[in-house]
Structure 1
């Protein structure tokens, strides 16, 4: 027995086994001693305790609990996001912008994969890769050039307003470049910087287009291409940052803006800011009041879509000079400058054909050249949707009856009317504008300036400001 007990005492395993039996025997006497023993037996080692209490471990646990992808997805209100997306896509201009973004994304992705060698298994030979590179390069060049062409007439118009700088010009430019459409300190100088940067973007893109169209890929100057691409990309980015970080993107009180305007050229701008009629809240109330008055008046389209025999001279003008008649009609209805509408309409209906045909000159593949030519023709036809967009705006502003002939969608019907018979739709709009005159077709805002009376479209301002 003595040797056995001595052996048990010397063996750690047997000693621990005996202690467990001893603890089990004491459970009847009290649970505290067993609990203390159990906690001591299962206590973590010093190394395990250090790992569990380390900052990295606690940070990982916190991130795993709080920033899981499932928890982030659950926090998104998908219903409201889907509703906003549907409301955004209903605008025809946004729809065209989405198609442009998708086309740029697809062509850019293919160009990137060709440049990085990701398509070498599909395009085994170098001539094939060169052809795909040039095709997507020319497509991207055409798309960005068209976007600059469409935006440039409006930017020229804004530059002309900056040079003239009358009271009505200030209000129109503030709606585009100033936050909340309110006056800012030294706003003329800051708007000039933004407009010049946007012009620089257009001219750099035109220079890049000339290099892509005038030279084949082996002969194209690398420095010129890199310089024009850098300027074309950086100019609008700098313009956007400047517009947000400068006083144009900040909130200022009218009195503070007047105190900062020390230049003589900005005195008229600061005085117009102090006018109570320029308050956005009051403008909103007056717009609601005018819209409620418009609801009380029942208006109709002047004749049907095919009633062109009512005015043969107007019918001939709508066919032979659609762009001029369209711009003149939009201007007198208060939808913007006539020359901007004429230039934009011409560019939308003619520029895609020439840009895509010129882009196909440097491509050796006959099928690709034909495809680019057909794409240009297709985009020219879709340019008529510009008239459909403004027909929608006219119908909404003047509360004209909507047609549900196409899938029950009035907006889609207006666009298809311009696509199928644009002279007929234009003639109907001109006849309706004549019927709406004199009170509805005239601009509702007039500004007394030193040089005379300046009329401002209702989209820019709907109050009468009397300068003192």
Structure 2
């Protein structure tokens, strides 16, 4: 996978050195901790052989650091959605297991009713896993296209996802294609299993094909994860190849000298309800929400447009379709209605996908947040998308139109400065808003040191 972030590590007490260097400690390293000496001494009273054991307690859990890690992890809305999904799967699996081993016989006395409940749990878990695969499939399909095309930018994008530290490795195309193929096998197996659950009832369903799909759906992602974490994509590369890759990246990054002004404190263009500032953007944001959203995300540097469009469509429409069909295969009337209500609710909550990327846009470009809701701007972004998605999207598009977006930064639109004057020798004006954005105040001129630096660079280019 890509480079590990700082959140994947937990501070441990008394770092242990080996051969003069600190060992890398990951979040789950506490599972390797040896038992304390007091515990061994208690056991040694009943066994002489244990008296000779001297296993030092090398590390212990840092509970405050672990708690902080959990808090940071829960701040990500996608992690919260994943946690809710895992809880729903665990509850369904636990309830089905209790019925299968007879713990619910006293509550559900009829055998036919117990079989109906088992089938309902199977259908619900099938729907949950199908939805998860549908959500991930646009991204996997895009990765497959990149692996087949394999241009320079395609290889770089795939390295950041599947290769450790995003570094180039020998025969990396083959290794990455293998991981992508295993993940595609997982999705295809789940889609096949979903078709079997919908096409057959529990008495006529082919068990052999169902078990084969389950085996592929379980083993394929495990194999992909193990191959990514411990295979050729995670091994240490030779210093020569690493140096060559670094030099190439440096040449690419330094190939152009941008003399434009970086906007360090941008503002939202217009308020949330100021859709009249640009009626075209307002109408398109309402009637073509998915397409405008995907186009705006790619322009801002948040990924491929088509991946965003398909993912957003699936998030909004798939729950209603999957849970409605699942409810038709559940005999219990109460459970059938509950499954249908959950599908409608998940369709509405699919708009949070846009809220998530609005949060990323605000943080990346340092846009001001709305602290009206108990001081949490993330909540404000979520509510804006849930109850006025077209207005929120129109505001994001207007803001993107007002600035030039390159390399994750906002630049002043078409402004080059030399010694306080423009290239034509005229007096330097402030960055004025567009004609249909008259409500926005003109941005302040850039600081003097920025203009001096741009002037020096231009003189050096003229001399050279």
Name the CA distance, whole Å, in 2 between partners of 1:351 and 1:177. Answer: 28
Name the CA distance, whole Å, in 1 between partners of 2:298 and 2:190. Answer: 30
3-state SS of 2:203 partner: helix
**Structure 2 residue corresponding to 1:178, chosen from 163, 166, 181:** 163
Q: How far apart are 1:138 and its partner, in Å?
A: 0.9
Q: What is the aligned partner in structure 1 of residue 221 from structure 2?
A: 236
3-state SS of 1:104 partner: helix
Encode CA deviations 1:101-120: one digit per residue, 9 max, x unaligned.
11111111111222222222
User: How do 1:211-250 and structure 2 match up within 5 A?
Assistant: 211-250=196-235
Q: How many residues align?
A: 364
Name the CA distance, whole Å, in 2 between partners of 1:389 and 1:54. Answer: 58
Encode CA deviations 1:14-68: one digit per residue, 9 max, x unaligned.
xxxxxxxxxxxxxxxxxxxxxxxxxxxxxxxxxxxxxx999933417969x988x
**Structure 2 residue corresponding to 1:305, chosen from 261, 267, 272:** 272
3-state SS of 1:311 partner: helix
Name the CA distance, whole Å, in 2 between partners of 1:388 and 1:428. Answer: 13
Relative to structure 1, the CA distance from residue 57 to residue 155 in structure 2 (aligned partners, 3 Å threshold; closer, same or farther) is same
Q: What is the aligned partner in structure 1 of residue 307 from structure 2?
A: 340
Q: What is the aligned partner in structure 2 of residue 330 from structure 1?
A: 297
3-state SS of 1:124 partner: coil
Name the CA distance, whole Å, in 1 between partners of 2:177 and 2:370. Answer: 43
Q: What is the aligned partner in structure 2 of residue 56 from structure 1?
A: 47
Encode CA deviations 1:343-386: one digit per residue, 9 max, x unaligned.
00000000011101111111112221111011011111111111
Name the CA distance, whole Å, in 2 between partners of 1:112 and 1:278. Answer: 53
Name the CA distance, whole Å, in 2 between partners of 1:379 and 1:156. Answer: 24
Structure with higher Rg: it is: 1
3-state SS of 2:366 partner: coil
3-state SS of 1:188 partner: helix
Contact 1:302 1:428 survives alignment (8 Å): yes
Name the CA distance, whole Å, in 2 between partners of 1:222 and 1:192. Answer: 31
Name the CA distance, whole Å, in 2 between partners of 1:53 and 1:309. Answer: 80
Q: Does 1:376 align with 2:367?
A: no
Name the CA distance, whole Å, in 2 between partners of 1:408 and 1:54. Answer: 58
Structure 2 portions without partners, runs of 5+: 1-42, 412-464
Name the CA distance, whole Å, in 2 between partners of 1:426 and 1:53. Answer: 68
Encode CA deviations 1:306-345: one digit per residue, 9 max, x unaligned.
1111122211111111000000000111110000000000
Q: TM-score, normalised by structure 1?
A: 0.73
Q: TM-score, normalised by structure 2?
A: 0.73
User: How do 1:248-259 and structure 2 match up within 5 A?
Assistant: 248-255=233-240
Contact 2:168 2:245 survives alignment (8 Å): no
3-state SS of 1:199 partner: helix
Contact 1:392 1:414 survives alignment (8 Å): yes
Name the CA distance, whole Å, in 1 between partners of 2:84 and 2:62. Answer: 26
Q: How far apart are 1:253 and its partner, in Å?
A: 2.4
User: How do 1:268-283 and structure 2 match up within 5 A?
Assistant: 273-278=244-249
Structure 1 portions without partners, runs of 5+: 1-51, 258-271, 445-468
Name the CA distance, whole Å, in 1 between partners of 2:335 and 2:231. Answer: 46
Contact 1:299 1:400 survives alignment (8 Å): yes
Q: CA RMSD in A?
A: 2.8
Q: How far apart are 1:434 and its partner, in Å?
A: 0.5
Contact 2:193 2:210 survives alignment (8 Å): yes
